[in-house]
Amino acid sequence: MKKLVRNYETFLRIANAISHSRDPSEIALMTVESITTALNVKGCTLFRISRKKNQLKVTASYGLSKEYINKGPLSSLQSIAQSLREGPVAIYDVTDDPRIQYPEEARKEGIASILSVPIVVGGDVIGALRVYTSQPWEFTLDDVDFVQALAQIVGIVIIKSRVYQGQKESIRILKSMREGRMRQSTRRTPYESVPVSVLA
């Protein structure tokens, strides 16, 4: 029951953040921090997919060292790629699994197990949420459902914030175009201020 209450509290905290902020990076950071605290794990990272480079780019991370986060480019085709194609993947032992791209770095960081959940919006995979534990962890269905639900929420927020930022940029461009036209319409020609009788 205590775990269930903790999960509800996490949902409420993130929902509250969403209602008060339009900054996707702030919401992403609160999400990874909340997941880490709720599950009492080592850390959590939110990645977005860069289609051009086939890489996973860190959007927000909590509980992991800068050295581990900056260990090198993370390939969306090699690093637990199965979770991006097929759904959640739980890895019990990171030192003995070919799906881990940087097993030695994970060992040095003190990571034992990883849960990787895709962030899917409208049928498109836009990123991944990964949970890291310091002890070997058999993730339960409740753990997976909890992380997956938060992945869906944060995915919707990311897409909506992109639309919002796009609208803001469009409004800014339209305003600058309108101001340019207004400046042109108020500009006088050489003869505009000359009396008609002089021109005749």
Q: What is the model's pLDDT at position 15?
A: 74
Asked whether residue 139 is assigned to any structural domain, the reply reads: yes
Between 2 and 134, residue with greater pLDDT: 134
Asked whether residue 51 is assigned to any structural domain, the reply reads: yes
Q: What is the model's pLDDT at position 43?
A: 97
Asked whether residue 200 is assigned to any structural domain, the reply reads: no
Residue 1 pLDDT greater than 60, yes or no = no
How do residues 143-160 score in pLDDT, each as one tens digit? 999 999 999 888 888 777
Asked whether residue 196 is assigned to any structural domain, the reply reads: no
How do residues 9-66 score in pLDDT, each as one tens digit? 777 777 777 666 667 788 888 889 989 998 999 999 999 999 888 999 999 999 999 9
CB distance 132 to 17 below 8 Å:
no
Token pair belonging to 79: 């690093």
Q: What is the model's pLDDT at position 200?
A: 47
Domain total for the chain?
1
Asked whether residue 189 is assigned to any structural domain, the reply reads: no
Range of the domain at 114: 2-164
Average pLDDT of the segment spanning 63-77: 94
Q: What is the model's pLDDT at position 58?
A: 95
Asked whether residue 170 is assigned to any structural domain, the reply reads: no
Q: What is the model's pLDDT at position 128?
A: 95
Three-state SS for the chain is CHHHHHHHHHHHHHHHHHHHCCCHHHHHHHHHHHHHHHHCCCEEEEEEEECCCCEEEEEEEECCCHHHHCCCCEECCCCCHHHHHHCCEEECCHHHCCCCCCHHHHHHHCCCEEEEEEEEECCEEEEEEEEEECCCCCCCHHHHHHHHHHHHHHHHHHHHHHHHHHHHHHHHHHHHHHHHHHHHHHCCCCCCCCCHHHHC
CATH of the domain at 128: 3.30.450.40
Asked whether residue 25 is assigned to any structural domain, the reply reads: yes
Average pLDDT along the chain:
83
Q: What is the model's pLDDT at position 198?
A: 47
Asked whether residue 172 is assigned to any structural domain, the reply reads: no
